[in-house]
Amino acid sequence: MNYREEFQKINRKLVERYAKLDDAEDFWAYLYKPLRPSIRINTLKGNLDEIKSMLEEKFELERIPWTKGEGFFIKSHDVNFGQLIEYSLGLIIPQEASSMIPPVVLDPKPGELILDMAAAPGSKTTQIAQYMDNEGCIIANDAKQDRANILIANLNRAGVLIAKVTVKDGAYYAKYEDTFDRVLLDAPCSSVGMIRKNFKFAKTWSLGKVYYHSRLQKRLILAAYKALKPGGVLVYSTCTVDPLENEEVVDFLLQKTDAKLEKIKLPLKTTEPVLEWEGRKYSEELKKTVRIHPQDNDTEAFYIAKIVKP
């Protein structure tokens, strides 16, 4: 099967744009492939080894190397999480493997004050709370009430006790200058990485959406940086491949502020960050960011930057 041609039938403009970014046959083949199911064991609710043993009676597990021991691929394609007692009890949290990276890079500590600026549906928020041992405070924000309701349900199931849910435009938090120890901005995006979950993301993709999200992301990243304490860490991430939503947004922050980038060191295969796109040149500093294409680790596409405030 020619996977590039299959995508051309779905959305020709999507193929025209991203063939300029990565025209490896593997890129299109992996974008076409269904995602491997993956979960995080929730140590807020129980002992990791005990929960793992329960799961191994039903599934073959493979550890996800970039997590702190709690992330696993399930070697089965017909997992119905709704029927699993471990899911109902909040002992496991279904979460795409590459989406576990931003909280690992954020590295929150017990007792800290954390802002999760675009938190719904909340899998990363629960991961942050897990790393904090339910000690400290997470402001878990989402701009939409219906998404915030899903966030609350997921936090409750996971046994998160330290989250305060707010429904605000993320840029609202700019008024809390130098307040948060760490900020996660897992930004709304054009979701090219999520095509593996559902082809609707390929059908509905448009360049207009990319431009819209790039503008929104720049507004949010400035607010996120403003809300961060000096010495604090801001992690910016998206589940898309478009340079206008990734490198361009981080480059914009570097130009507008005194922000610095830190190199992300994790056991991951990555694709070189984009330093030039459509005639725009970006800072060499962006080599410190992580760009993941679907074929790199057989996951969703993702982009992650670790930013520090001097």
CB atoms within 10 A of CB 97: 25
User: In this structure, which amino acid lies at residue 99?
Assistant: S
How far apart CA 294 and CA 38 sit, in angstroms, is 15
What is the per-residue burial (b if ≥16 Cβ within 10 Å, else e) of 270-291? Answer: bbebbbebeeeebeebbebbbb
pLDDT tens, position by position, 160-176: 999 999 999 999 999 99
Q: What angle do CA 114, 306, 286 make, to 5 degrees?
A: 155
DSSP structure class, residue 195? G
Tallying the residues shown for the chain, one arrives at 310
Q: What contacts 202, CB < 8 A, 6 or more positions away?
A: 7, 10, 11, 14, 195
How far apart CA 168 and CA 16 sit, in angstroms, is 36
76 confidence band (pLDDT: 50, 70, 90): confident
How far apart CA 253 and CA 124 sit, in angstroms, is 23
Catalytic residue set? 239
Lowest mean pLDDT, pick from 9-18, 74-83, 238-247: 74-83
pLDDT tens, position by position, 191-224: 999 999 999 999 999 999 999 999 999 999 999 9
Task: Tell if the pTM clears 0.95, that is, is over it.
Answer: yes
pLDDT for residue 77 is more than 80: no
User: In this structure, which amino acid lies at residue 202?
Assistant: A
Read off the pLDDT of each residue in 127-145 and give the average, rounded to a whole number: 98
247 confidence band (pLDDT: 50, 70, 90): very high
Give 53-107 as a DSSP string. Answer: HHHHTT--EEE-TTSSS-EEEES-S---GGG-HHHHTTSEEE--GGGGHHHHHH-
Is the bond into 294 cis (omega within 30 degrees of 0)? no
153 confidence band (pLDDT: 50, 70, 90): very high
Please tell me the number of Cα atoms within 13 Å of 256 on its side-chain side.
Answer: 13
pLDDT tens, position by position, 216-226: 999 999 999 99
Which of 240, 121, 225 shows the shortest CA–CA distance to 189?
A: 240
Q: Give yes or no for a contact between 273 and 291, defined as CB atoms under 8 angstroms apart.
A: yes
Q: Give yes or no for a contact between 194 and 125, defined as CB atoms under 8 angstroms apart.
A: no
Q: What is the pLDDT of residue 28?
A: 97
H/E stretch holding 305 reads strand 302-308
pLDDT tens, position by position, 30-71: 999 999 999 999 999 999 999 999 999 999 999 999 999 999
What average pLDDT does the structure give for the chain?
97
Q: What is the pLDDT of residue 255?
A: 98
Query: Among positive and negative, which fits the CA dihedral 126, 107, 120, 271?
Result: negative
Two structure tokens written together for 35:
């995602």
The C-alpha R_g of the chain, in whole angstroms, comes to 19
Q: What is the pLDDT of residue 78?
A: 81
Q: What is the pLDDT of residue 16?
A: 97
Q: What is the pLDDT of residue 67?
A: 98
